[in-house]
Chain A
């Protein structure tokens, strides 16, 4: 019997790089849920990374709801590195994202 894979999810501070590709950069260390919510409320971005898309998506949504009481969900745009993400309701404030990694699309670690 195959063991159940362990689902690992971690949240990081993130920043989208300007340009058409939609690249999102993240950096260590991982942050707590409380810090992630505070970061979103401060108008900054986060990314949820892990080996399970469903878990990443659920965590990103949970954090946006905790920060703003709701969410709007977007699929990635045509940029080759663009990630799916959540916004606050009505995009207010503008430019705040909870991104999440998928098997095909992932944020890039800042050097």
Chain B
């Protein structure tokens, strides 16, 4: 994450109010810089991302699954937006065309601090950032997602399709009791 850094968030959550307020100011500056960068690259972003940015925020959404194809450079991420206690959040599928090279994988996982393996709510997206990372010979973008617990996903892609989904049936869910 270049803007929404876990260390700023950690200081923001400090019990020391002076530390917290200084971090809050730092966070505001980061928001301004990120939004300025996003505005500058928005025209170049794939239409799916432009539509996503215009319709919702991924803050507090949950990643339900990530699937990476073996041979083709494709990655699919299933996300449930934040809902309400009385209404589950909308479901989206993001299908990336990865920009994989011998030196740069399409998907990288980074850790910030020590991960808590028993942390509930691990797939929760805290903050995410889009960036343009290359122009030539093709446009390459990145989507970085900071998850609760300190895991960061970095996805390098050339294109992405975003599809709303009607429902997702998981074998363990009550929707398919015979398979539970």
Contacts and interface: CB of A to CB of B under 8 A. Distances in A.
Interface of A: 18-20, 22, 43, 53-54, 57, 73-80, 82, 84, 87, 90-96, 102, 104
Interface string B60-76: 10000000000000000
Q: Which among A77, A87, A92 has the highest number of chain B CB atoms within 10 Å?
A: A77
Contact of A73 (B13, B60, B88, B89): B13
Sort A-B residue pairs by CB-CB distance and give the 10 closest, nearest first.
Answer: A43-B85, A77-B59, A93-B85, A95-B84, A90-B120, A75-B27, A90-B121, A73-B13, A95-B83, A20-B57
Interface of B: 4, 8-9, 12-13, 17, 20-21, 24, 27-28, 31, 34-35, 38, 53-57, 59-60, 82-86, 88-89, 120-121, 124, 126-127
Given A20-B54, A73-B13, A95 B21 contact: no
Contact of A53 (B21, B31, B56, B86): B21
Contacts of A19: 55-57
Given A54-B21, A73-B12, 5 more contacts: A74-B126, A75-B27, A78-B34, A80-B35, A95-B85
7 contacts: A54-B17, A76-B27, A76-B31, A78-B127, A82-B59, A91-B60, A94-B82
Nearest to B9: A75
Given A54-B21, A94-B89, A74 B56 contact: no
Contacts of A43: 84-86
Q: What is the interface of chain A mostly: helix, strand, loop, or mixed?
A: loop
Contacts of A104: 28
Contacts of A18: 56
Contacts of B84: 43, 94-95
B34 to A, nearest CB: 6
Given A102-B24, A104-B28, A75 B57 contact: no
Nearest to B52: A20
A92 B60 CA distance: 12
Contacts of A22: 57, 59
A102 B24 CA distance: 10
Nearest to B17: A54
Contacts of A74: 59-60, 126
A84 to B, nearest CB: 7
A95 B89 contact: yes
Nearest to B85: A43
